[in-house]
Structure 1
Amino acid sequence: MQEDFPITIATWNFPNASKRAGELLAAGATALDAVEQGVMVEEANLKNTTVGKGGAPDRDGNVTLDACIIAPDGNAGAVVYLKNNTHAVSVARKVMEETPHVMLAGEGADQFAREKGFEKENLLTPSSEAAYNEWLKKKEYKPIINIENHDTIGMLCIDKNGDLAGACSTSGLSYKMNGRVGDSPIIGSGLFLDNEVGGAVATGMGEAIMKNVSSFLVVELMRQGNSPQEACETAVKRIIDKNPNYKEFQAAIIAINKKGEIGSYCIQKGFSYVKYQNNTNTNISSKYYM
C-alpha cells in the first residue's frame, strides 16, 4: 500500500478535527472510526455556529442537525432534523450499524438516540440565542458567501490499509425554514464514496448540490478515469450551468481517489480545505470558477 497513507481531508479549515482523525489513523484506527471522531470535534465546538452544539437555529428557534456516515463496505447511516443531540454523526453511525435503515428523521431519530444511550441536550447556546434574537429584529434571510451560515464539515479518511470512509455533519443554513434539510445527510449529494474508486464531500448551498447529486457525480467521474480535480471541476460547473444565480451563493467539493490524489473546486473564491498527512496539517485554498 502507498507509503503516504493514511490521509485525512476535510472541508474548510478545521485543523483540530483533521488532526484528531489523522492521529487516530496514525495509531492504527480504521477510517470509519477516524471520520466519526474527527467530525465529533467540530460538533462539540461551541464556537462553530454551523455544526453540532451551538449551531444557529432555524426561523422558529430550533437547532436541528443533519449528518451521515459511510463505511468502506458502502454501508451508510444518516439522521435529519435531529434535535437534542450534539453528536449527530454518532447517531447516524448507530442507524447504520444497528438498524435495517439508512436514515431516521425528526422525533424518530431523537427517540432512537435516547434508546441508544445518548443524553438529551439543549443545543441552543447563549451566544446562538443572542444572535437569533438579533436576527428576529429584521428577519432577513440571505445566504452569506463563505461566511458562517453554511460551513458544513465533511471529512474523508484513507487508513493504513487503503480503506476509505466519510462523514458529514451540519446544523444547516442559519435561520432556515423549520423542517429544512440540506445536502449534507443525503447519500450521493453531500457525501459519497466507493472504496474501489474514491470519495467526495460537498459544502455550500445545499439545495443546488442536492439537485445535481454532486458527490455521486464526482465519484462516478473518477470511476470513468477523471482525476479528482477534473471531477470536482466538472461537478461544480454542472451546478453553475443549472443555476443562473450562481454568483449569489457558494458550492464547493473536495475529493480523493484510491491513490491518495486530491481535488477541490468551488464557485467563489474563499473556500479552502485541510489535509492531514505525515503528522502535518495543511490548509489549502481551493481553485475556483469566479
Structure 2
Amino acid sequence: MYNRRKFIQTTALSAAIVTLSKACISKSSSINKPIVISTWDFGVAANAEAWKTLSNKGKALDAVENGVKVAEADVKNQSVGYGGLPDRDGIVTLDASIMDHLGNCGAVLALEQIKHPISVARLVMEQTPHVMLAGDGALQFALEQGFKKENLLTEKSKKDWLEWLKTAKYNPVSNIENKLYDKAAPERLPGNQFNHDTIGMLALDAQGNLAGACTTSGMAYKLHGRVGDSPIIGAGLYIDNEVGGATSTGVGEEVVRNVGSFLVVELMRQGYPPEEACKEAVMRIIKKKTNSTKDLQVGFLALSKNGEYGAYAIQKGFTFAVCDSQKQDLIIKGKSHY
C-alpha cells in the first residue's frame, strides 16, 4: 500500500534531486575556463605562451606543449631542458610526459641531445603504441621524427659542474645531493645542484577539456640514468577529465613511491578541493618517512574540472603561476607543512 510515510519520503527525495540538479547547473555555469597553471615563477612566461592557444579556443593539449617548451628553451633555467645542469658525468638528460583529456599519454626518459623532450613525448603518445621510450631508444625515435641533435650542456652549466667535481664525494645512495648540502655556506656550492625545479603545467580549455605536461632535466649531478617522477604517469603528472589534473615538483623518488599526482586526483574525486587534496598527498609522504623531512621538498599542484586550483608543499618557497581571462601573470605562494 502506498501510505502517507512513503509519499512524504518520495516527495522529499524528489525535492532533493531537483535541488541537486539546480546546484549542478549553477556550478557548471561558473566554470573558470579557459585557465592554465604551472609550477614556479618561470611558469608565468610558459603560461603566457599557453594562453595564446587557450584564448583562441585552442586545445588544452596544444597549450601545455607550447607552454612548457618556453621553459625547455630558456638557457637561464638550469632545471629544465637546454642549459639544464648535467648528471655527475657531465651529461644533460631530460625527462618529460604529456597527457590529454582522453587518457592518452606519452613520455620520454633519460633523453639526450634533444631540446624539446615534451614534443617527443607527445609523438610517443600519438605515433606509437607505447607510453614510454627511454635513453637511446627515445633518441632514435626523436631523430626518426625529424628532431635534430643539439649540445644541451651550456658553458654556464659546464662550469658549474666542473666546480662541483672539485669537492663532491658521490656515493650511489638515494638523495646523496641533500647529504652533500653545506648548510653553513650554501652560497659556496656551485650550480644550485640541489634544485628540483620541474615545470608542470595543467590547462582547462574553452571546451572544458583538461591536459597536462611535465618536463625537467632532473636532479643535478644525479647518477647517470636516474629518472625521477616527471615522466612517470600517475607520479609526476595525471589527468582525469571527469575530475581534474595534478602535477608535482621536488624530490621525484618520494613522489614515485606515493604515486603522488594520481593520489591527488583521486582525492579530488572523493570531494577534496584541490589544495586540500595536495595537502593530504604531502602529509602521506611525511607520515611514511621514518627520518626527518626537514631537508626534503615535494610540492603538488592541482586543477579541478571546474577551474579551481590549489597547491601544497612540504617546505616553504614553492610558488606557482596562474593565467586566466582575469589575469595572465599571477604568482601565488603555495602553502606548506613547515
Q: Offset at 1:227?
A: 1.0
Amino acid in the other structure paired with 2:252: G
Amino acid in the other structure paired with 1:254: L
Q: 2:177 is paired with a residue of what secondary structure?
A: coil
- Write 1 or 2 for the structure with the bigger share of helix: 2
- Write 1 or 2 for the structure with the bigger share of strand: 1
State the Cα RMSD in Å. 1.4
Match of 1:258 among 274, 297, 305: 305
Deviates more, 1:148-157 or 1:164-173: 148-157
Match of 1:11 among 39, 47, 65: 39
Q: Could you tell me how far apart the structure 1 residues matched to 2:317 and 2:145 are?
A: 40
Is the 2:32–2:308 contact (alpha carbons within 8 Å) kept by the matching residues of 1? no
What is the number of residues matched between the two proteins? 289
For the pair 1:20 / 2:49, whether they are aligned, the reply is yes
Gaps of 5+ in 1: none
Q: Could you tell me how far apart the structure 2 residues matched to 1:114 and 1:87 are?
A: 12
Match of 1:142 in 2: 177
Q: Offset at 1:232?
A: 0.6
Q: Could you tell me how far apart the structure 2 residues matched to 1:74 and 1:13 are?
A: 28
Deviates more, 1:247-256 or 1:20-29: 20-29
Q: 1:280 is paired with a residue of what secondary structure?
A: coil
Q: 2:162 is paired with a residue of what secondary structure?
A: helix
Q: Could you tell me how far apart the structure 2 residues matched to 1:29 and 1:16 are?
A: 18
Aligned-pair identity (%): 55
When Rg is computed on C-alpha atoms for both structures, the one with the higher figure is: 2
State the TM-score, normalizing by the size of structure 2: 0.83
For the pair 1:43 / 2:72, whether they are aligned, the reply is yes
Match of 2:89 among 60, 66, 81: 60
Q: 1:192 is paired with a residue of what secondary structure?
A: strand
Q: Per-residue displacement from partner, 1:257-278 (whole Å, max 9, x unpaired)? A: 1111111100111001000011
Gaps of 5+ in 2: 1-28, 170-175, 184-191
Q: Offset at 1:23?
A: 2.3
Q: 1:229 is paired with a residue of what secondary structure?
A: helix
Q: Could you tell me how far apart the structure 1 residues matched to 2:267 and 2:323 are?
A: 25
For the pair 1:176 / 2:222, whether they are aligned, the reply is yes
Q: Could you tell me how far apart the structure 2 residues matched to 1:203 and 1:240 are?
A: 15
Match of 1:233 in 2: 279
Q: 1:236 is paired with a residue of what secondary structure?
A: helix
State the TM-score, normalizing by the size of structure 1: 0.97
Is the 2:47–2:328 contact (alpha carbons within 8 Å) kept by the matching residues of 1? no
The 5-angstrom pairing of residues 1-290 of structure 1 reads 2=30, 4-14=32-42, 15-139=44-168, 141-143=176-178, 149-243=195-289, 244-278=291-325, 279-290=327-338
Deviates more, 1:255-264 or 1:96-105: 255-264
